Structure 1
Amino acid sequence: MRFITAIVAAAVAAVASAQTPYFPFSPEGACVAACTSTVGKTFFALYDDVDETGPFFLTSLAYTYERGSPTTIQFMTQAGTCMTPCPTAELDLYRAQYPLKLKWYQANKSASLRRRSNE
């Protein structure tokens, strides 16, 4: 199981290393990325918080940034527990970027709704 987790983490980290103007944030690291991906997929099989051009990117971010919802509380609790052994540098970057990503999500989440209404 740990081997699979390590492979998933490496793949997520490789994809996440591409920072773009659309989503201008640095990847927090392989451990944090593996936790959000693994936990996210327990809630939503198509969870993808890495590919900002993908159809489920904003939907996936909602699990982290729709504050106060029961699903977000569950997601954050499980992801936080998973992240406990992650390197301090990754956790520090996650904490530093969280409020910035939250603000970005709030400003951009309606794009997902517009996209769905045009389909």
Structure 2
Amino acid sequence: MKFATAIVAAAVAAVASAQSAWNFPAEGPCVAACTDAAGKSFFPFYDDVDSNGSFFYTSLSYTFERGTPTTIAFMTKSGTCMNSCPMTEQNAYRASYPLKMQWYKANKPAALRRRQM
């Protein structure tokens, strides 16, 4: 049953992602590697790059659903890794985070909104 729910959520996410473009430049390869490794350690289908991908919004939820145990664990793991990244990449991540969060909150699919209630 959970798998079927995930498939439906993924389909909704794919449709929603086509409605509003994710137009944020990458912060750099080190930061990208940290978020990818942290994400995949919690969710094997983690993909915060392909905005048309089936698991894009689910992957972004690991970063932007503040205060949840999942986000706390993800941010701790990815943040610890990012400490070894070049400062320019760390600063780029910090600068883009609020803009990305705003975009995520405005564009996440209804399936994710209901799950959080």
Q: Same fold (TM over 0.5)?
A: yes
Q: TM-score range by the shorter chain?
A: 0.7 to 0.9
Letter in structure 2 aligned against 1:56: F
Aligned residue in 2 for 1:56: 55
Correspondence 1:58-73 to 2 at 5 A? 58-73=57-72
The residue that corresponds to 1:15 in the other structure is none
* Shift in Å, 1:110: 1.8
Paired with 2:28 and 2:55, the residues of 1 have a C-alpha distance of 21
Alpha-carbon distance in structure 1 between the residues aligned to 2:69 and 2:38: 15
Query: 2:33 corresponds to which residue?
Result: 34
Aligned-partner residue type, residue 64 of structure 2: Y
Partners of 2:24 and 2:39 in 1: how far apart?
19
Q: Which runs of 5+ in 1 are unaligned?
A: 1-20, 115-119
Instruction: List alignment gaps of at least 5 residues for structure 2.
Output: 1-19, 113-117
Which residue of the partner structure matches residue 108 of structure 1?
A: 107
Count, aligned residues: 93
Instruction: Report the 3-state secondary structure (helix = DSSP H, G, I; strand = E; otherwise coil) of the residue aligned with 1:92.
Output: helix
C-alpha RMSD over aligned residues: 1.4
Runs of 4+ residues over 6 Å off in structure 1: none
